[in-house]
Structure 1
Amino acid sequence: MLRPLSSLRALLRRAGIPESHHGPPISRPALRSRFTTSPAANLKQLPPRPKHPPESEIEESFLKGSGPGGQKINKTSSAVQLKHIPTGLVVKSQATRSRTQNRKIARDLLALKLDAIANGDQSRTAVVGDVKRKRAASKAKKSRRKYRKLVDAGAGAGSEGEGQQVEEGREQGGEEEEGEEWEVVEETEEGEVETEAERAQDPETERVQPIEVDNTKKDK
């Protein structure tokens, strides 16, 4: 039976981590990256979230919301609109009924849009969109592969079923043919039925039948 300490030492030795207790402590992310098997550890490192622009560059206004959400959205000024003064970029948020939450969401949207303008393909929005597209493509590929396997399995089962049906049909057909031949033989033995082939093979049918002559004198 292995002890917990000895098993931990064995794991550290396999991972290449020194066993000395005098060195710097091992951080949790390092251990997680060495021992974890979750797919999140293999994902591409995402860029950090962009910081909000300074408040001096933002022009904020509150508007009444539109669309579904009830009177809380349609009759109160809970929607938040932000304008970035240096670029003229405008964003609006009415995701929730709370003005405080909408203010934070609007600033997050503005920061993401400014990051996309500044960094392009290296921005957080572009990288996240690329990861999502790859995940969707991988999921669709797995679905197609699974569907193809199901179709192949169904086709194999169908071909086996057809083969069994053909064999059963042949067996039934053989039984019917044997029954028909037995019936013909019985009928021929009893003299009730005589086919044309049997007549052609019968030598008695080729003999010329003698003509019977009536020698009796007719009454005068």
Structure 2
Amino acid sequence: MSVRVLLVDDNPVVRIGLRSLLELDDRMDVCGEASSGQEAVAVASRERPDVVLLDVRMPGSGGLDVLPALTQLSRVLMLTYSDEPAVVSEALRGGATGYLVHGAFQSDELAMAIIDTAEGRPRLSPAAASVLLQGFHGGGTAVAEAPATHDRAEPTVVPEVVKQHALSRREVEICRLLVAGMSNGDIARRLFIEEKTVKNHLNRIFAKLGAANRAEAIATCLGTRRGA
């Protein structure tokens, strides 16, 4: 019997690639696609897939926003580019059975991860496994306390970096939260602003720092990135 899979990602190229890959395996049955969290809930309610492959960041309702609703309908395997500890831990707390990061697994491992997820066995990329070892156990349920990093004083951005890259006061504030490991949603809630506003700030910060991703931005803020 094949595993019925729902693909949820706002990037159509990613969905096409996943569908093409899974349709080569007769154990897989792609029963639908969605490009947003809200659409994912609607399709999952109608199709009742065995597994939802869910991206984290999408326009409107993201994966984490609708995760609790989806876990009432299906098992969920997060499949995303984000390996941020705060995002991973939130996904596990929200009920995701597994968490895979693009580029951290081979193509032939995806089908096995989906089968494991359908049967309730967690499959985790190394970054997600690291978070698991720091305070989470399998099945997507948090151990007593979530990581307390958000309650600690955020690291300070190196003053020379602030001056060299002409960061505004708000940008410095966001950089400090970024270095603390917060997701865009965490930053938005901390600063009482919209998540899309956080994304706009981060785009400008990345441009100023000459950073291609969060890891490079964090390294620059801490003064540990060579050539920055």
Question: TM over 0.5, yes or no?
Answer: no
- With the shorter chain as reference, the TM-score category is under 0.3
Structure number with the bigger relative contact order (C-alpha 8 A, sep ≥ 6) is: 2
Q: Which has the larger radius of gyration?
A: 1
If each structure's helix is expressed as a fraction of its own residues, which one has the higher value? 1
- Relative to the length of structure 1, the TM-score reads 0.18
If each structure's strand is expressed as a fraction of its own residues, which one has the higher value? 2
- Relative to the length of structure 2, the TM-score reads 0.18
